[in-house]
Structure formats: structure tokens, C-alpha cells
Amino acid sequence: MKTFPQPPDLDAATSVGMSDGETDIGRLEMRVTPLLAALVLASTAIVAPLNSTVAGGIQFGPVENQPKRKPQRKPAPPPPTPAEIAPEPAFEDTAPAARPPARQAAPAAETHTPTQRQSGVMRRVSTKGLPPPPAPRNCKNTGTFSAWMRDFRKEAEELGISRRTISDALDGITLDEGVIRRDRRQGFFSQSFLDFQAKLATNNRVQNGRAQIKRNQATFDRVKKEFGVQASVITGFWALESDFGAGLGNLPILRSLATLAYDCRRGPMFRDELLAALEIIDRGDMRPHEMVGSWAGEIGQTQFLPTRYLEHAVDYDDDGKPDLFKNPTDIIGTTANYMSHLGWRRNEPWLEEVIVPRELPWAEADLSIKHPRSKWAGLGVTRADGSALENDAMPSSLLLPMGRFGPAFLAYQNFDVYLQWNQSLNYAITAAYLATRIDGAPAMRRGRGDIPTLSQDEAKELQRRLVDHGHDVGEIDGIIGAQTRQAVKTMQIKFNLPADSYPTAELLSALRRR
């Protein structure tokens, strides 16, 4: 794709040195969990006042693990530092689940797999399946941290972790109340998609992404051949996760993991992550003092939780071990390896901005519905520049993150990988859009004029009225997540309103009259 030059733009969202601020992006990188096919896809609309939490502990994350619990109105909060984007398991405000894509295998001779322990009984970690749902944010811890730590150390030793590693890693660790506060506080996702992407998909990141591609061209060419993942896709994630290493964070990863493993909200998930971190140390990949990062315990410049590191980190330059903190070759190779595992499809697109006509069967705009690209063309959907779409059978979904009046995209099968990296629709669309910008696409259109939004109080009222009509929207909190959006779409159809899954004052008024 032709590259369109962009002027440098040092945006506040890309500033360095913001590593431990207040915003917990529910982790843009949520711990990716490949979405289960059995889950029903909900509508794709993202509502303006999303006070949402991400599903992935964001890791980022997006973001995947075996059915074992392993290893996504007040003024808008300030832009997050990449280090504040942290993992969070699937939650009500996350994207609807997508079918796990078939793996696109890399050539057998070149496929990399993580190093395995040769001794002990440490169980094999997996990054497939959804983590257990988090407990409510107001859950209360019982028992002391020291008592919990004694039990955990015993478990780690029984699982084959050496006593020396346990001592080196855990001696003297104390509870970090600040980490718990960050995990409970989810502010950044309480923004509309347009506001969210404007803070994250900046011109500065576009320019830096292109510069990284030039700087590491040989490695990007190698992973494109081996894994089929485009350079712009990798650099898009790399930019959002850490600004290419400038926003890694400065907290002890082991202390953060121990705190989150003890805490009532997501203890089982982070207990596994802490065990995986000990295995990383035990096999010699890192030493405890080297494990420094974000409050959510993620490793390296593309922010891998320990379980993801164990399964997908590769020593891509063959210097003895993976280094995701400082080695661009390992960072690029590992990220591509992981995306291949998620099912990235070679030589296929992921997201494309489009223009929709004023009239359309809006109920078809749903991530669970894929049509041949030719059908969307027949319905009057065009490219962003007004030219015709290809008249082919490429499967795609129409994605309207802010309803029929906002930006519009065709989401292709590779977009499912973005939703596995991070189930937050805000994050997934932003990351995918940023990759297209790095490839040369122009800035997106903002839609048709002012887009109506509900206040937080109105969103709560909407949820209460949806519940009165028999819908399960999860917690009534003003967070317009997947369950609420699906209920909105159902009621829009019932009231003969445009069924774009985007909550409006028009729908709220209709509910008040019933």
C-alpha cells in the first residue's frame, strides 16, 4: 500500500515518562484469551460513556488458554501510558466472542516453540480458553497476605519450582495496595470510540511505527515470510503496548503478580501467572530484579503475561534466550509467533474504513454476521474514498462502533485476532486502524455530524428499563457492554428503530413509554 507522508505530531498520549499514572486501561492489552465458539456474538457498537473494563487482561489483551484458568458523566481521564494498559479477563463491556480461527501454521522447519522445563512437575501452561470471570470490584479479601503467601510457596514447590527460585523471587515481597486500587479503577474506557482512538492512534505513533519498520526491515521481512504477519500489524500493537519500549513501567512484576494473585477479584488467573513467572526464573530466562514493568505484571515491549511468554516467546536471533525487554528481533519474532498461534491469515486484510449509505438493513451490522464483500457493495457500502469495494467473496462484517452516524469499517477474518489479543472493541478497532494508518491509509472520517450519546445516568436508566423488559445486561452501572448492546439491538428491532445496537435517547424514550 502506498505510504502517505504524515507530519510529526508529538501527542500527549504518546509522551514518555507517564508510566505509573492513574489510568488502568483495563489493559489495552488484556490477557488475550481465544474466544470460545460456543459464546454468542453480541452486537458490535461501542457506546460513548463506556466506563468499561477490558477483557483481557489486556493482558493485552488481548488476550487467549485452555479451559484451565490461565495464563480488556465525568470528564474523560487523561491519556494512559502504555504501561498502564493492563490485563483483564472477559467482562460485560468486552467484545462479543468470536470463533477461534484455524491456526495458520508457519513452515515446519522454521516454527518456533517456547523452551520447556526439563525437570520438575510444573504443569504445562496454555494460552487457550477464557480466564474465570472476575469477582465484583467491591469484593473483600479474607485472610492475610502473609498466610496466603505461605500456602502459595508450598504449592509452587510441590509443582516443581526450586526452593532457591522461590526464595529469590518471593522473600520480602509485600502487598501493593496501589496495584489493587488500579485494578479496581477502570476509567480510560469510559470514553467514546472516537475520543479513545484520538488519544491512542496518534500521528506520532504512525510516524514511529514506520520508523521502526525501516529500522528492523530484515526482521519484519523474515516474520512476514515465516508467519505471514504484516509489519504494520506488529508495530501497531508495539506502539499501543509500550510506545516501542518508552512506556514499560517501573514496578516489580513479581510483587504486582503476587498482589493480584492474593486479591479476591482475579486471584485464580494471577495465581497461574505468578507460577508461570517463577518457572521463567527457574529455567534461567530472567532474574527477579530484571522483571520490572506495568502494574499488571506483564513482560516486555509487547506486554506478555508470564503464561503467554512461556508458550510463545522465541529466541529469534538465537543468542540463547528470548529478550522481550530490549531485543527488537525477539520482540518482533515473538509477537508474530503469537499472532500466528491466534490464527492470523496470510495475505489477508484485517480492517478497512468504509462509507455506509443513509439507509441499510442495520441489523446486519454485527460482528457475528459475515457477508461476502460483494454483498456489502450491493447494499451501497463503498471504500472511504468513495470508490467501489471489490466484488468478491471475501468474508467481512460491518462494524459500527458508534452506530449508523459514526465511523464505519469492514472487519475481515483477521480482525478476530485483534479481539483475541484484546476483547475490548475500543482497543481492537484502534489497534487495527492504527496498523492501516502505518500502512498509509488516511485519517478516518468522523461520521455524519454530531453523534448522539447518553450520559452515565441515562445509560443506567436504559439498563434498568432493559432489565424490566427481561434482558440480562449484567451489572447496572452505565457501562454499555456486549450484553447491553445485544439487548439494545433486540429492543430496537421490537420498536422498529434502526437496529445498529447503539443506545440513543430515541430508544430510551421508547422504553419509557412502554
Which amino acid appears at position 314 of this protein?
A: V
Q: Is 155 in the same domain as 289?
A: yes
Of 393 and 76, more confident: 393
Of 392, 410, 439, the one marking the end of a domain is 439
Same domain, 403 and 465: no
Give yes or no: residues 384 and 355 share one domain.
Answer: yes
Q: Is the residue at 158 inside a domain?
A: yes
The confidence score (pLDDT) of residue 38 equals: 35
Residue range 441-468: mean pLDDT, rounded: 89
Q: At what angle do helices 177-184 and 253-262 cross, to 10 degrees?
A: 70
Percentage of the chain with pLDDT > 90? 63
In a domain, 342, yes or no: no
What is the arithmetic mean of pLDDT over 417-444?
94
Q: Write out the residue range of the structural domain in which residue 477 sits.
A: 456-512
pLDDT tens figures, 6-39: 333 333 333 333 333 333 333 333 333 333 333 3
**Does residue 103 form part of some domain?**
no
On whether both 277 and 407 belong to a single domain, the answer is no
Q: Are residues 187 and 263 in the same domain?
A: yes
Are 270 and 136 in a shared domain?
A: yes
Q: List pLDDT tens digits, range 279-328.
A: 999 999 999 999 999 999 999 999 999 999 999 999 999 999 999 999 99
CB atoms near residue 326 (< 10 Å)? 10
| The most confident of 45-49, 209-213, 292-296, by mean pLDDT | 209-213
Residue 19 lies in a domain: no
68 domain-assigned = no
**DSSP classification of residue 82:** G
| pTM metric for this prediction | 0.78
- For residues 164 and 255, membership in a common domain is answered with yes
What total number of domains does the chain contain?
Answer: 3
Mean pLDDT is lowest, of 3-12, 74-83, 448-457, for 3-12
For residues 261 and 172, state if they share a domain. yes
Predicted confidence at residue 441, as pLDDT, reads: 96
Residue owning grid cell 509487547: 302
- Tell me, yes or no, whether 109 lies in a domain: no
What pLDDT was estimated at residue 423?
79
Domain edge (last residue) among 410, 439, 468: 439
Statement to judge: residues 476 and 420 lie in one domain: no
Query: Does residue 419 belong to any structural domain of this protein?
Result: yes
The verdict on 284 and 402 lying in the same domain is no
Q: What is the mean pLDDT of the chain?
A: 79
Q: What's the angle, vertex CA 62, arms to CA 57 and CA 66, rounded to 5?
A: 80
- What stretches of 67-160 show up as alpha helix (H) in DSSP? 145-158
Give which of 21, 38, 49, 5 is closest to 454, Cα–Cα: 49
Read off the pLDDT of residues 331-378 as tens digits, 9 standing for 90 and up. Answer: 999 999 999 999 999 999 999 999 999 999 999 999 999 999 999 999
Instruction: Return the H-helix or E-strand segment holding 482.
Output: helix 482-494
Of 299, 326, 341, which residue is a domain's last? 299
- Between residues 222 and 96, the one the model is more confident about: 222
Identify whether residues 472 and 423 lie together within a single domain. no
Kindly report each contact of residues 145-152 with a partner whose C-beta sits within 8 Å and lies 24 or more positions away, as own/partner: 145/174, 145/175, 145/262, 148/262, 149/173, 149/258, 149/262, 152/258, 152/261, 152/271, 152/274
Give the list of residues 6+ apart from residue 305 with CB closer than 8 angstroms, or none.
31, 57, 59, 71, 87, 273, 276, 296, 297, 298, 299
- In a domain, residue 482? The reply is yes
Res 268 pLDDT > 60: yes
Considering the domain architecture, whether residues 420 and 492 belong to the same structural domain is answered as no
Question: Which grid cell is 246?
Answer: 518508552
